[in-house]
A and B are shown apart, each in its own frame.
Chain A
């Protein structure tokens, strides 16, 4: 029983991280249909920024978020405004190629700046605390808490602010949104800024538990793809559900199957993905979608 509860906790904590990691990818895809192949590289950039601030100013990665997110917002805003907005009307291959190019550039620029040596942020509180015989890793619990806070914040923002409503309107029907006076290009640029800032934040908060190196991004992009399709496009509850599902499935299978547990966990999550695609192609929760106007 204790082992089961511990596995459940480990799975939830992993799932919380998956959920916050996927948000930026999912919203960008849901709102403007851009599949951001540089997702993992933006995450890597966030992790490197956290490492840099930790190493030069001994700034805790959870605190340096307040510096990293605005910087990365600007980067995302500029990328959207001057690059991706020009490509949106073209076939979707154009944005795929552009983001792929960005991923290659980011990875190699980081290799030049930081070299390929792996880095890590060694926070002093890397242990765990115990509640009723179950151990909670401090860093992962912090990541989980911040992930929930970020998701709640984004949800409230999209649901209740004027700008958030404009973003959702732009996602549902671009032309109608334009007619009621929404500056689509501006909304897109702001959305991209938010998404890149969130992705970099995810990178920064995992910097204490992962090795940081220039080519760490790709597996994260792949995972983001799986979770987004599983949970539903551009949906915060969908990202949470997809992330949690994947996290718990992986840890549970890994705990109870000897020898090949983690491998089998990945296999099972992808099997579930195929089943979901057949039975509920819109994802577990139906996400932000274009309204049928024609």
Chain B
């Protein structure tokens, strides 16, 4: 019964092997004409969602560059091949896989995983083996204070998150700021930056409050802030905090003239789940498809979003766009260096100064992208609109925001 199946199968596989052998015999240097790039990205675990976005961003670039004929180095065109592994959202696994990518798969360059935490461990291995690693998903300032040579990130660093909105609000006449943040790494970086920018733009910081992870109630902070009557409130750490701040501000009738939430507001889920209470809230964002960026490679942000939508059937998140931008930065550096040597490409990365669909990419000595201003969105009529900085803004920002009680009146009077 089974023997009649096995024979043709054997024959077929034999034929296939010979065919493959023949093919590689015809192109003896086909393996040398490929640039191998390694990427350990989360497919499972905590960062499963963002990891998927990151990988889709990388793959979009890979398809696109190969369809353009690859990257030209010397007088040869190289195709690109990205080798992926699932890092399971674990820093230890990431480190092991990056080592495997370098020693076993012998990749030429590395693309980083999503998140500052995973990138921290991945970049340590890249540094050990002296391989260039480009990240499209890490903004922690502390990544760039370790004296590493080989890590570059296209994200605006965390300490710059509130720069554009504080600048815009100071121009509107805001004078005082209160800050509340979760005492973990990333929110702390953001809050330290916020204090610095507030001073730079001539505003006074009235109070700074911290709170631990997994806090279930923040009404003590909002009621304290209420008595200070500040112009600007900056707060947040995670999505839950953003929600707690909005809910308790409304409950306590705490009415700053502007509410800036570090995390959450630029996520479409925020508007969807919070409803009308999310109106007027500001939030920093790495990238939105409506931003007025235009580059030489993917065109405008909007055009990039269309390409992404066509390939993956969903609009790109900023994580996906960041990933494509990271790969693009690597490509531009290889182009510029006209070499595949780590040292030449690394120097070219540092020299890079180019506007792309993701915004300006210009790395400093430590590998931070210093020239890309952080965008700020405001939720207006249930839509996420870019309002700052001015050169990429879509609409003028709404300031001051109406008090909670006035809003209810205007809603009820308009319905009358």
Interface residues of A (CB under 8 A from B): 3, 6-7, 10, 14, 115-120, 122, 126-128, 135, 137-140, 208-211, 213, 216, 218-220, 223, 250-251, 254-255, 258-263, 265-266
Q: Which residues of A contact B209 (CB under 8 A)?
A: 258-262
A88 CB to nearest B CB, Å: 31
Interface assignment of B216: CB less than 8 Å from any CB of chain A: yes
In contact, A7 and B220 (Cβ under 8 angstroms): yes
Closest B residue to A262 by CB, please name it: B211
In contact, A126 and B247 (Cβ under 8 angstroms): yes
Alpha-carbon gap, A122 to B269, bound state (A) = 12
In contact, A116 and B48 (Cβ under 8 angstroms): yes
In contact, A250 and B217 (Cβ under 8 angstroms): yes
Q: Which residues of A contact B48 (CB under 8 A)?
A: 116
B234 CB to nearest A CB, Å: 15
In contact, A119 and B273 (Cβ under 8 angstroms): yes
Interface assignment of B239: CB less than 8 Å from any CB of chain A: yes
Alpha-carbon gap, A11 to B37, bound state (A) = 55
In contact, B227 and A3 (Cβ under 8 angstroms): yes
A20 CB to nearest B CB, Å: 13
In contact, A120 and B243 (Cβ under 8 angstroms): yes
Q: Which residues of A contact B35 (CB under 8 A)?
A: none
Question: Which residues of chain B from 323 to 353 have any CB-CB distance to chain A below 8 Å in the complex?
Answer: none
Q: Which residues of A contact B220 (CB under 8 A)?
A: 7, 10, 250-251, 254-255, 261-262, 265
In contact, A116 and B49 (Cβ under 8 angstroms): yes
In contact, A210 and B240 (Cβ under 8 angstroms): yes
Q: A116-B49, A120-B274 are in contact. Are A210 and B243 (CB under 8 A)?
A: yes
Alpha-carbon gap, A258 to B273, bound state (A) = 32
In contact, A122 and B240 (Cβ under 8 angstroms): no
Question: Lowest 6 A-B CB distances belong to which pairs?
Answer: A254-B220, A137-B251, A122-B275, A219-B214, A211-B240, A262-B211
Contact of A259 among B208, B217, B243, B251 (CB under 8 A): B208
Alpha-carbon gap, A259 to B220, bound state (A) = 12
Alpha-carbon gap, A69 to B113, bound state (A) = 43
Interface residues of B (CB under 8 A from A): 48-49, 183, 207-212, 214-221, 223-224, 227, 239-240, 243-244, 247-248, 250-253, 269, 273-277, 404-405, 408
Alpha-carbon gap, A145 to B391, bound state (A) = 52
Closest B residue to A216 by CB, please name it: B240
Q: Which residues of B contact A263 (CB under 8 A)?
A: 183, 210-212
Q: Which residues of B contact A261 (CB under 8 A)?
A: 209, 211, 220-221, 224
Q: List 7 A-B contacts (CB under 8 A).
A: A10-B219, A10-B223, A122-B273, A126-B277, A128-B253, A254-B224, A262-B210
Q: A126-B250, A259-B208 are in contact. Are A118 and B239 (CB under 8 A)?
A: yes
Alpha-carbon gap, A179 to B167, bound state (A) = 77
Determine which residue in B207, B223, B239, B253 has the highest number of CB atoms from chain A within 10 A of its CB, and name it.
Answer: B223
Alpha-carbon gap, A6 to B226, bound state (A) = 12
Contact of A127 among B212, B239, B240, B408 (CB under 8 A): B408
B350 CB to nearest A CB, Å: 37
Q: Which residues of A contact B227 (CB under 8 A)?
A: 3
Closest B residue to A219 by CB, please name it: B214
In contact, B210 and A211 (Cβ under 8 angstroms): no
Alpha-carbon gap, A219 to B253, bound state (A) = 28
Closest A residue to B222 by CB, please name it: A10
Alpha-carbon gap, A1 to B77, bound state (A) = 77
Q: Which residues of B contact A260 (CB under 8 A)?
A: 209-210
In contact, A262 and B212 (Cβ under 8 angstroms): yes
Alpha-carbon gap, A127 to B277, bound state (A) = 10
Alpha-carbon gap, A266 to B217, bound state (A) = 12
Alpha-carbon gap, A259 to B210, bound state (A) = 6
In contact, A209 and B247 (Cβ under 8 angstroms): yes
In contact, A219 and B274 (Cβ under 8 angstroms): no
Q: Which residues of B contact A137 (CB under 8 A)?
A: 219, 248, 251-252
B237 CB to nearest A CB, Å: 12
Closest B residue to A260 by CB, please name it: B210
In contact, B247 and A14 (Cβ under 8 angstroms): no
Contact of A135 among B183, B210, B221, B251 (CB under 8 A): B251
Alpha-carbon gap, A211 to B215, bound state (A) = 11
Contact of A118 among B215, B273, B404 (CB under 8 A): B273
Alpha-carbon gap, A139 to B274, bound state (A) = 15
Q: A254-B220, A255-B223 are in contact. Are A135 and B253 (CB under 8 A)?
A: yes
A114 CB to nearest B CB, Å: 12
In contact, A211 and B251 (Cβ under 8 angstroms): no
